[in-house]
Amino acid sequence: MFFGLGSDGTVGANKNTIKIIGSQEGRFAQAYFVYDSRKAGAQTVSHLRFGPQPIDTPYLVQSANFIACHQWDFLEKADVLGLAANGATLLLNSPFEADEVWDHLPCHIQEVIVERKLTVYSVNAYRVARETGMGKRINTIMQTCFFELSGVMETELAIAQIKQAIEKTYSKKGADIVAKNHAAVDAALSQLKQVSPKPACDGKKITIHLIPDHAPEFVRKVTGEMLAGRGDALPVSSLPVDGTYPTGTSHWEKRSIARRIPEWLDNHCIQCGNCAFVCPHAAIRAKFCHVDDLVGAPRGLRSSAMTARGFPEMRYVLQVYADDCTDCGLCIDACPVRVETTGEEPERALKWVEKADVLERERENLDWFEKLEWNDRSQVDFSNVRGTQYLQPLFEFSSACAGCGETPYLKTISQLFGDRMMVANATGCSSIYGGNLPTTPWTKNADGRGPAWSNSLFEDNAEFGLGFRLTADHHRRQAVLLLKKLVDELGTERIDALCSGAQHTESQISTQRKRVVELKDKLGGIAGADARALLSLADHLVRRSIWIVGGDGWAYDIGSSGVDHVLASGLDVNILVMDTEVYSNTGGQMSKSTPVGAVAKFAAGGKTMAKKDVAQQAIAYGNVYVARVAMGANPQQTLHALREAEAYPGPSLIIAYSHCIAHGINMEEGLQQQKRAVDCGHWPLIRYNPVIREAGGIPFTLDSLRPSLSLAEYRQHEGRFRSLERQHPEEAARLLEIAEKSVRQRWALYEEMATRNAADFHPDARRE
């Protein structure tokens, strides 16, 4: 049995392992793989069987002679040795030296090792991976150690077979990837050491509890059991009969999958908020508080004087959620600070530290940080990135890939509009990390308000979200009718304010909420069915923020007719397309958003058709707000577009560049690649606002500068383009020329649109 982490390569390596073993004469093999559908960071368990006789066992391994734990933290979180046979071999990926391993093992693990006479080996696979340029990929390292210890075949033969499998699997990604994997295989055994057991420590044998005792009952009794891998044992009666699950459950799932976490250097920080803005998992947050609020705080909790004027006694506090960080590095990359030191590189306001060295300190700091109240939204100017860091994320700790390009956009809209937001989500990555069992990152604030989220299919999600708008409007109309019926009891002035009060800005919405609270208090003293009915509908007098979200596979392809239908409706809905330019969730298939020359499934020779311009199609309606954004290129433009779109009283479409692991990039440089996409003209930043057109101004704004980077330079950083260049250089050159011509043509069109008169955008003018 092999316990791995989703995306660390364990499952892929074990598939190769079982093929290698099964291909030997006189060997029979079988493998089962247990993992959920979340994108990354979840536990995977590989069950391998092999032997000289045919295997007919349609069930998982019940007694394991070999167990490998590829993540040290699993020893505390999973019953890793529950099925270990007497005399079995245990292989640990350990951050400690072999002579230190025993003292760091949990007591219940030590007890099983001694009781069942297990033989223990350790290897610091992450060190090997780092030194050989493999990053976080430890699969081939652990695979090599397995063949060395298992004795299933000669180690030299096994290594040769592993290297053949590496060449077959990774040759399309380039010779450098193959070479790094080969180097990792060669270096693996030099780090493999046996661990000498000692008497077990005095700690009692424990039952694995992943959820703290103060968590809600449902989370403890249902969610916790699923997280512990015991979901199959839950009775049907424990599940919600209507399929409605509580939100905010990812808050309790402390995966603790990072090896490094960022540490805040308060003396360097300029409090810009960029790090919190781009964090894909909401694992770095900021608050400001009065200096008195920090009396008695842990010694390790850092703070600094507020740099904003008018806050002389206020302190700025930045906190990393160590158990929720995924070690993606986007926060450090986004930090604009450069302080010259004696080191090779200038220091930023964040630096990498080993999580194990600071974990307990940061957990103590976090307990205090979470007791600090979130800042009053009325005191925060969140028209800029600096201000948004003080807004509570209502989308947090998702199971998306480390460094995901999609989730920062969702987190941001949850901060801006989450307490009155309804989300219709198209099946795809955003449904897997957004609402798949056992946890969901959509959460609520201290007032119990947060996004209401539901998933629908590719082909009808836009219509599904339109139903949200129609329903919300119907509820509001019903509430208004009931208000007018109760005019004698409530008074004309109150009713007029509730029905006609503006709700465009945050202050106006806050005022409307106060009116609704007063209305509810008043209704409590009024008898009759109308008062009771209005009490149940009163909250619908606060304007709902309807968001329809999904990827390019949905918006450009399978659900495109629905998207078009909704945009043509004229109703107040917001469509957010997180454009990864490929079907990310189902394996990297080509979509209509895939650019010319990119290699994807169903486009193995490079896509030959141009990328569909959904923005132009939407602008053609004349009454749709349209924006194309890229957080890594211009975070302020992204924020501005999101707020403009939500405030616009009609349909809006935001197309957000979302870098993806399917692009074949180093995800730590995802924001840099977003900027390259904009700088080369592949992804022009635009906004089209019908409100400006109606006022007689130029409604189209081109927010990025003329291309200053070649398209070829942008593409050199992505495997989806490089692979075609290696295999078919002439075809790659031909498609690059086509793509460059398309970029020039589109840029020329956009420059022309940015100087047109408002009348040129009117549909009647176009028809003439």
Domain range list for the chain: 2-195, 247-391, 464-541, 581-767
Assigned CATH for 581-767? 3.40.50.970
Q: How far apart are CA 49 and CA 60, in angstroms?
A: 9
Q: Per residue in 613-644, pLDDT tens?
A: 999 999 999 999 999 999 999 999 999 999 99
Q: Given this model, what pLDDT does residue 756 score?
A: 83
Strands 421-426 and 452-456: parallel
**Angle at alpha carbon of residue 82, lines to 79 and 87, rounded to 5°:** 130
Q: Given this model, what pLDDT does residue 768 score?
A: 41
- Under the banding of pLDDT at 50, 70 and 90, the label for residue 36 is confident
Q: Per residue in 645-670, pLDDT tens?
A: 999 999 999 999 999 999 999 999 99
3-state helix, strand, coil in the chain (%, to 5): 45, 15, 40
| Domain 247-391 class, CATH top level | alpha beta
pTM for the whole structure: 0.93
Question: Are 140 and 177 within 8 A, CB to CB?
Answer: no
Q: List the structure tokens of 569.
A: 């409706």
Q: CA 660, 662, 665, 671: dihedral to nearest 10 degrees?
A: -10
- Under the banding of pLDDT at 50, 70 and 90, the label for residue 330 is very high
- Summarize the confidence of residues 119-135 as an average pLDDT: 92
Check whether 343 has a pLDDT greater than 90: no
**Phi then psi dihedrals of residue 87, to 5 deg:** 80, 10
Question: Are 455 and 465 within 8 A, CB to CB?
Answer: no
Q: Given this model, what pLDDT does residue 78 score?
A: 85
Task: Give the residue carrying structure tokens 């891998």.
Answer: 229
- Under the banding of pLDDT at 50, 70 and 90, the label for residue 208 is low
Question: Are 433 and 441 within 8 A, CB to CB?
Answer: yes
**Angle at alpha carbon of residue 23, lines to 18 and 26, rounded to 5°:** 105
Q: Given this model, what pLDDT does residue 191 score?
A: 92
| Helical ranges in 319-392 per DSSP H | 330-334, 355-371, 385-388
- Summarize the confidence of residues 217-221 as an average pLDDT: 93
103-136 as b/e: b if 16+ CB within 10 A: eebeebbbbbbeeeebebbbbbbbbbbeebebeb
- Under the banding of pLDDT at 50, 70 and 90, the label for residue 9 is confident
Task: Give the residue carrying structure tokens 């247990």.
Answer: 34
Check whether 150 has a pLDDT greater than 50: yes
Check whether 308 has a pLDDT greater than 50: yes
Q: Given this model, what pLDDT does residue 767 score?
A: 44
Type and span of the H or E element at 549: strand 545-551
Q: Given this model, what pLDDT does residue 764 score?
A: 59
Least confident of 222-231, 478-487, 493-502, 517-526: 222-231
- Nearest residue to 37 via CA among 226, 254, 233: 226
Q: Per residue in 501-554, pLDDT tens?
A: 999 888 899 999 999 999 999 999 999 999 999 999 999 999 999 999 999 999
- Under the banding of pLDDT at 50, 70 and 90, the label for residue 766 is very low
Q: Per residue in 715-732, pLDDT tens?
A: 999 999 999 998 899 999
User: How does the average pLDDT of the chain come out, rounded?
Assistant: 93
Instruction: Name the residue with higher pLDDT: 567 or 136.
Output: 567
Q: Of all residues in the chain, what percent carry a pLDDT higher than 90?
A: 80
Least confident of 252-266, 557-571, 747-761: 747-761
Q: How far apart are CA 717 and CA 662, in angstroms?
A: 13
Q: Of all residues in the chain, what percent carry a pLDDT higher than 70?
A: 98
Q: Is 713 exposed, middle or buried (0-12, 13-18, 19+ CB in 10 A)?
A: exposed
Check whether 571 has a pLDDT greater than 80: yes
Q: How far apart are CA 668 and CA 177, in angstroms?
A: 17
- Summarize the confidence of residues 395-414 as an average pLDDT: 96
- Summarize the confidence of residues 197-205 as an average pLDDT: 75
What is the CATH architecture of 2-195? 3-Layer(aba) Sandwich (3.40)
Q: Given this model, what pLDDT does residue 38 score?
A: 78
